[in-house]
Amino acid sequence: MSTEKSQTRNQTLTFAVAAAAESPTETRVSVRDFEFVVDEPESLGGANAGPNPVEYVLGALAGCLNVTAHVVAREMDLDVRDLEIAIEGDLNPATFMGKRDDGRAGYEEIRVAVTADVDADEATIDAWLAAVESRCPVSDNLTNATPLTLSFDRR
């Protein structure tokens, strides 16, 4: 293993995005050389210019699970083909809308279904999935409390 890879694996990396409001519901997000739009569907008062924030959370989870699944499969010498990940989550918007203060604003439950062609026995697949779940950074952020600091600067 090279020193560079070894150092990367043992250091904290900082990821960053910048965002600007285009309207009360639409946000333009910049990250590295990419931009994407976050918006609400028309049914929730938006212009439907892009997925909404909680849909991006599910998409981020799917993307991270895909990468993690393939990394772990390579380490376990598993040949994973035709990997598909379906995710759905249940969210009650009452807290977000200010209608109640005794519930969560975020997802109450997230369900992930993984489908793939893998030549392995059930015990190996179970071990693979357990490693994927425990090593996926987005899954970790969704299942464990992460300190969040919100600050404000006046213009």
Q: Average pLDDT of the chain?
A: 94
- pLDDT at residue 59 greater than cutoff 70: yes
Count the alpha carbons within 13 Å of 76 in the hemisphere toward its beta carbon. Answer: 23
* Residue 77: other Cβ atoms inside 10 A: 8
Tell me the per-residue pLDDT of 17-29, one tens digit each, with 9 for 90 and over: 999 999 999 999 9
- pLDDT at residue 100 greater than cutoff 90: no
- Give the pTM: 0.90
Question: Comparing 56-60, 96-100, 131-135, 149-153, which segment has the lowest mean pLDDT?
Answer: 96-100
| Nearest alpha-carbon partner for 22 in 42, 40, 44, 43 | 40
Tell me the per-residue pLDDT of 136-149, one tens digit each, with 9 for 90 and over: 999 999 999 999 99
Distance of CA 124 to the CA centre of its chain: 25
